[in-house]
C-alpha cells in the first residue's frame, strides 16, 4: 500500500509542477478583413475564389456569395472550370 501511495504522490507532484510551469497561451491571429468580390476583369471566373485560409472572411461578404451564385448559374463557365480540374 505504501508503494502505491508513493507512486500517487510522485504522479501528483509531476502534475502540479506541469500546471504551475505551463507556457502562456499563444495569441490568436488577427482576423482578416472580408475579401471583396472581384469584378469580371479582375478574375478569370468573374469573382475571386476563396482559399482555405481566407474562406471565413470571404464567406462573410454577401457580394462574394452573389458573384458565386452568378458564376454557378452560367453553365458555360462552370463547364470550362470543370474541364481545367
Structural domain includes residue 57: yes
pLDDT at 39: 47
pLDDT at 17: 83
Q: Give the tens place of pLDDT for each residue, 36-47.
A: 554 444 577 777
Continuous segment of H or E residues that includes residue 74:
none
Q: What's the domain count of the chain?
A: 1
Quickly count helices (H) and strands (E) in the chain: 4, 0
Structural domain includes residue 12: no
Structural domain includes residue 3: no
Average pLDDT, the chain: 78
With a cut of 70, list the residues of the chain below it in pLDDT: 22, 31-42
Cβ–Cβ under 8 Å, residues 60 and 37? no
Structural domain includes residue 85: yes
Question: What residues make up the domain containing 60?
Answer: 32-85
Q: Which residues of 10-24 are buried (b: 16+ CB within 10 A; e: fewer)?
A: eeeeeeeeeeeeeee
Structural domain includes residue 13: no
Structural domain includes residue 72: yes
Rounded to the nearest 10°, the torsion over CA 2, 4, 8, 13 is: 50
Amino acid at each position: 500500500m505504501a508503494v502505491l501511495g508513493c507512486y500517487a504522490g510522485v504522479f501528483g507532484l509531476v502534475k502540479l509542477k506541469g500546471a504551475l510551469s505551463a507556457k502562456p497561451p499563444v495569441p490568436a491571429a488577427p482576423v482578416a478583413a472580408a475579401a471583396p468580390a472581384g469584378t469580371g476583369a479582375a478574375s478569370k471566373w468573374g469573382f475571386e475564389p476563396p482559399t482555405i485560409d481566407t474562406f471565413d472572411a470571404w464567406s462573410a461578404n454577401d457580394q462574394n456569395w452573389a458573384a458565386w451564385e452568378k458564376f454557378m448559374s452560367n453553365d458555360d463557365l462552370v463547364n470550362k472550370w470543370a474541364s481545367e480540374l
